Structure 1
Amino acid sequence: MTRQDRILIVEDEPKIARLVADYLEGSRFASHHLGHGDEVLPWLAEADEGTMPDLVLLDLMLPGTDGLTLCREIRQRWPRVPIIMLTARVEEVDRLLGLELGADDYICKPFSPREVVARVKAVLRRSRAAQEPSVAASDLILDDDGWRALADGQDLGLTAVEFQLLRVMMHAPGRIFSRDQLMDHMYRDHRIVSERTVDSHIKKLRRKVADIWPDREIIRSVYGVGYKYQPEE
């Protein structure tokens, strides 16, 4: 029997959490609910292979530890667990998806539970390897099976969106991708996000590469056009 994908719902409003859980379970997901921010990190730290979630639905406004702090901590400690933020604060969207926190997606309240299920499925698809061979260039390897990027054997710890951006560009070295083209690869539902969101993901990706290769540049900006993967001139 195929294992159900597990979704951790972090939401302090029980009615909302129950509604989302019902729709997820109706789509054959398993779910677990936590209602207080202080419960989340200890619960994840104790989770084993059988209970670690495949994705976290994380409310921004929580009692105890807030969603922004939790997103940052989860990203640092469990970098390959996708995170979808639930927020009523539209002004936080660029920050949620961008440089500081790197959430994989966001949903603004009020929302349809069907939309939540659709977004969960989309993020899980993006966060898993496509059935293609791994891509390698020089000492940088993309491991599609593990959804990892390895520089000289060291895991860059990319988010699903960062991995997808790097993967798209590495498949076409030297090709210039506009921000709109990159957004189409990041968000297949063609939602409208600002170009600044793409820039933030690229900046964070570059910083992770620079942590291992401080003297090498692999993603280059083309002024007024977009970005390209080109490790050497």
Structure 2
Amino acid sequence: MARLYDYFLGGKDNFAADRAAAEKILEVAPELPAAARANRAFLGRAVRHLARNGITQFLDLGTGLPAPGNVHEVAQEVDPGARVVYVDHDPVVLVHARALLEGQGGTGVVHGDLREPEAILRDPGVLEAIDFGRPLGVLLGAVMHHIADSERPGEIVAALREAMAPGSFLVMSHGSSEARPAAVERCTEVYRSAGLPLTPRDRDEIGALFEGFELVDPGLVWLPQWRPDLSDMIDFAAAGPQASLGLCGVGVKR
């Protein structure tokens, strides 16, 4: 999944099989590269917002392959002392992330599976960098739609929420089944035929994952609509923000 996302972003860290699968997906959802850029831009804006509001530690779950505007780069622009732990279960992601972060202060890379949140929360590498007694930012960027309903996504987020101190933030983007239903259905079929789970959800289902959090303004919106800069809307001037294919939000735990 990380290598497909890298391909959609124009990256080079992917294999021939990834590119072949990506091209099949693009046949039914040609807007995916713009959607991937919109997701990346949303995460950058959200991290910057959290850092400006005093969050100095971040847990990025399902981080994907490094790309311009990594979380530690954005957060440390605001606060050079910000700490970031990246978590992923893809060995290729881990190798690239560790190479990128070698010698970087305040960052760490941990192997972990989001379907086992308790194991992530007690991982020594996470506990070394993250103080769960203080507010933090937990990032779930374009990852929860790879968690099937049978894997109890609500319970996964609840486990994370219980570990977060009051004043912590949850940042989430999620593929929407309401964007272009026919294309989303075909895209889901292509993903699954490649052995990759994909479960787009509707607005109510995605909103339910924020249970226990208070959504900050502007609430649950299409990716380019969350506190956008002017440049964030360029890709969607004609087709509209729903062409980003994903909804997003930032919630705070009171």
Taking structure 2 as the reference length, what is the TM-score of the superposition?
0.34
Larger Rg: 1
Higher RCO by CA contacts (8 Å cutoff, separation 6 or greater):
2
Higher helix proportion (structure 1 or 2): 2
Larger fraction in strand = 1
